[in-house]
Amino acid sequence: MSDAFDLIVIGAGPGGYVCAVRAAQLGLKVACVEKRETLGGTCLNIGCIPSKALLQSSENYHALLHQFAEHGIQAKDVALDLDRMQARKAEVVSANVKGIEFLFRKNGVTWLKGAASISAPGKVEVGGQSYDARHIVIATGSESVPLPGVPVDEVRIVTSTGALSLPAVPKHLVVIGGGVIGLELGSVWRRLGAEVTVIEYLDRIVPGMDQEVAKAFQRILEKQGLAFRLGTKVTGAQVDEGGVTLTLEPAKGGETDTLQADIVLVAIGRRPYLDGLGLDDIGVVRDERGRVRTDAHFATNIDGLYAIGDAIAGPMLAHKAEDEGVALAEMLAGQAGHVNYDVIPAVVYTWPEVASLGRTEEELKAAGIAYKVGKFPFTANGRARAMGDTDGFVKILADARTDRLLGAHILGPDAGTLIAELATAMEFGASSEDVARICHAHPSLSEAVKEAALAVDGRAIHI
Cite the annotated binding site for NAD(+) by residue number. Answer: 177-184, 200, 269
Tell me the HSE value of 31 on the side-chain side, using a 13 A CA sphere: 25
DSSP string, 340-399: -TTS--EEE-SSSEEEEEE--HHHHHHHT--EEEEEEEGGG-HHHHHHT----EEEEEEE
Phi, psi of 425 (to 5 degrees): -60, -45
Q: Return d(Cα 376, Cα 460) in angstroms, integer.
A: 8
Q: Which of 357, 353, 373 is nearest to 455 (CA)?
A: 373
Q: Which residues are annotated as a binding site for FAD?
A: 52, 140-142, 310, 316-319
Q: Return d(Cα 323, Cα 319) in angstroms, integer.
A: 6
Q: Which of 242, 246, 250, 148 is nearest to 202 (CA)?
A: 250
Q: How deeply is 268 buried, as exposed, middle or buried, from its count of CB atoms within 10 A (0-12, 13-18, 19+)? A: buried
Q: Which of 109, 266, 255, 260 is nearest to 186 (CA)?
A: 266
In the sheet that 405-412 helps form, which strands lie side by side, from edge to edge?
346-348, 353-358, 405-412, 393-399, 371-377
Q: Return d(Cα 440, Cα 100) in angstroms, integer.
A: 35
Q: Return d(Cα 296, Cα 314) in angstroms, integer.
A: 12
Pairing between strand 157-158 and 116-120?
Answer: unpaired
Phi, psi of 408 (to 5 degrees): -145, 140
Task: Please list the active-site residues.
Answer: 442
Tell me the HSE value of 108 on the side-chain side, using a 13 A CA sphere: 12
Give the 3-state secondary structure of residue 22: helix
Q: Which residues are annotated as a binding site?
A: 52, 140-142, 177-184, 200, 269, 310, 316-319
**Amino acid identity of 300?**
T
Q: Return d(Cα 209, Cα 74) in angstroms, integer.
A: 39
Q: Return d(Cα 142, Cα 321) in angstroms, integer.
A: 12
The continuous run of DSSP H or E covering 247 comes out as strand 243-250
Give the 3-state secondary structure of residue 76: coil
Cβ neighbour number for residue 276 with a 10 Å cutoff: 12
**Amino acid identity of 312?**
I
